[in-house]
Amino acid sequence: MQVTDFYVSAPGKAILHGEHAVVHGKVALAVSLNLRTYLRLKATTSGKVCINLPNIDTFLSWDLSQLKQLVTYFHGKRDEVQRLDAELVRRLREFIGVTNGNLDTCSMATLSFLYLYLSLFGSGELPSLTLTVWSELPTGAGLGSSAAYSVCLAAALLCASGAIPPPLKEWEHTARWCQEELELINSWAFQGEMIIHGNPSGVDNAVGTWGGMLRFLAGKIIPLSRVPLLRILLTNTKVPRSTKVLVAGVKDKINKFPSIMVPVLDSVDAISCTCEKVLSEMTCEPITGEHYNILEELIDINQHHLNVMGVGHPALDRLCQVTLAKGLHSKLTGAGGGGCGITLLRPETDSLIVQSTVQELKDCGFDCWETSIGGPGVQLLHLKGSTTSNGRIFLQGVLTSCTFQSLHFSLLPEERN
| pLDDT tens profile 48-78 | 999 998 877 789 999 999 998 887 655 555 5
Spatial distance between the Cα atoms of 356 and 93, rounded to a whole number of angstroms: 48
Q: What is the mean pLDDT of residues 300-319?
A: 97
Q: What is the pLDDT of residue 82?
A: 65
Q: Which residue among 150, 204, 372, 410 is the active-site one?
A: 204
- Position 222 pLDDT exceeds 60: yes
Is residue 54 exposed (0-12), middle (13-18) or buried (19+ Cβ within 10 Å)? middle
101 pLDDT higher than 90: no
| 129 neighbors 41 (Cβ within 8 angstroms) | yes
Q: Has 65 been annotated as catalytic?
A: no
Three-point CA angle 330, 335, 340, nearest 5°: 40
Active site residue 119: no
Residue 127 near residue 84 (C-beta atoms within 8 A): no
* Number of other residues whose CB lies within 10 A of the CB of residue 273: 17
Q: Report percent pLDDT > 70 for the chain.
A: 87
**Phi, psi at 157, each rounded to 5°:** -75, -35
CA distance 254 to 248: 10
Q: 354: closest CA among 362, 44, 25, 49?
A: 362
Whether the pTM exceeds 0.75: the reply is yes
- Residue 224 pLDDT more than 80? yes
In 3-state terms the chain splits into helix, strand, coil percentages (rounded to 5) of 40, 25, 35
383-417 pLDDT tens trace: 654 444 333 343 333 333 332 233 333 333 333 33
Mean pLDDT of 192-196: 89
Distance CA 230, CA 372 (A): 5
For residue 127, pLDDT over 80 is answered with: yes
Confidence of residue 84 (pLDDT cuts 50, 70, 90): confident
Say whether 113 sits in a helix, a strand or coil: helix
Which is catalytic among the residues 128, 146, 272, 330? Answer: 146
**Inter-axis angle of helices 351-363 and 314-324, nearest 10:** 150
E-strand ranges in 112-253 read: 129-135, 174-175, 213-217, 220-223, 230-236
- Express as a percent the part of the chain with pLDDT over 90: 60
Distance, in Å, from the CA atom of 356 to the CA atom of 133, rounded to the nearest integer, reads 33
